[in-house]
Amino acid sequence: MDPLADLAGLPGVADACARARDEVDALLWDRSLRAKAAEIVAESAIQGARASAALEGAEVSIDAMRAGVSDEDSPMGRAVAAAEAVTAAIPRQVDTWSRSPLQVIAHLHVVAARGFDRDDARGRPRDTDEVVDPLHIGLIPPVTDISPRFDALATVLTRPTQAPAVLVAAIAHGELLALRPFTWGSGLIARASLRLVLAARGVDPDLWGCPELGLLAQGRPTYVKALKAYASGEPAGMAEWIIFNAEAIRLSQQRL
């Protein structure tokens, strides 16, 4: 069975995923940019970390990022540092993601939660129903849901599918953000999953794109609304979430 096949057939989904893929391809096939590849990757990382931190409640300017705000020993500085660390860890985790996504998720939480969670809790799913919720999503799934939903997500991510990679990335992002498996930092890891899926499935193997920037561009209220639609489990809500993610990926190519 292909559990994502039905989602690919929802109204508007295939077209949105195709538009996002076309925008990525246009960037990757621009021969004039090849000489600037290292610069583009570095810019994508810093822009992505800034946008993800902003969505986590730590909004700073790109100039502050370049000036080293993450070196500051403050809640804002530590949150930005966590976003930078997660984004920096992604390239080394792409191969492992294809085989063992849960291992990568645990590793990214170890990286993200330094200074925010107990050392013995880093890399482990939360053991309470309390989470830091900077997006004010609410609707926190109970601890007992984490293990079965993790297993289901791992199955979806490692089995072959005919669904577009953009759709797969949206599902990984949505499931991790809706589940919030960690007390702190689940949002950073959920957004990192977009990059990981697109890189692992050959859409953006060099990590030129910056999907976090496209998420932020659409606004926090729209982000939360789309996630709640996903969490409803209704076909229209799932389509809304996938289209929202596809649009974020499409927009991000134009904003670097």
- Say what the pLDDT of residue 73 is: 75
- Say what the pLDDT of residue 211 is: 96
The domain spans of the chain are 5-255
DSSP result, the chain? --TTHHHHTSTTHHHHHHHHHHHHHHHHT-GGGGGGHHHHHHHHHHHHHHHHHHHTT----HHHHHHTGGGSSSHHHHHHHHHHHHHHHGGGGHHHHHH-HHHHHHHHHHHHTBTTB-GGGTTS--SSS----TT----PPPHHHHHHHHHHHHHHHHS---S-HHHHHHHHHHHHHHH--SSS-HHHHHHHHHHHHHHHTTSSTT----HHHHHHHT-HHHHHHHHHHHHT--HHHHHHHHHHHHHHHHHHHHH-
- Say what the pLDDT of residue 116 is: 80
CATH architecture of 5-255: Orthogonal Bundle (1.10)
Q: What is the pLDDT along the chain (256 residues), one digit of tens a residue?
A: 788 988 999 999 999 999 999 999 888 877 777 778 888 899 999 999 999 999 998 888 888 888 887 777 788 888 999 999 999 999 999 999 999 999 999 999 999 988 787 878 899 999 999 899 999 998 899 999 999 999 999 999 999 999 999 999 999 999 999 999 999 999 999 999 999 999 999 999 999 999 999 999 999 999 999 999 999 999 999 999 999 999 999 998 765 5
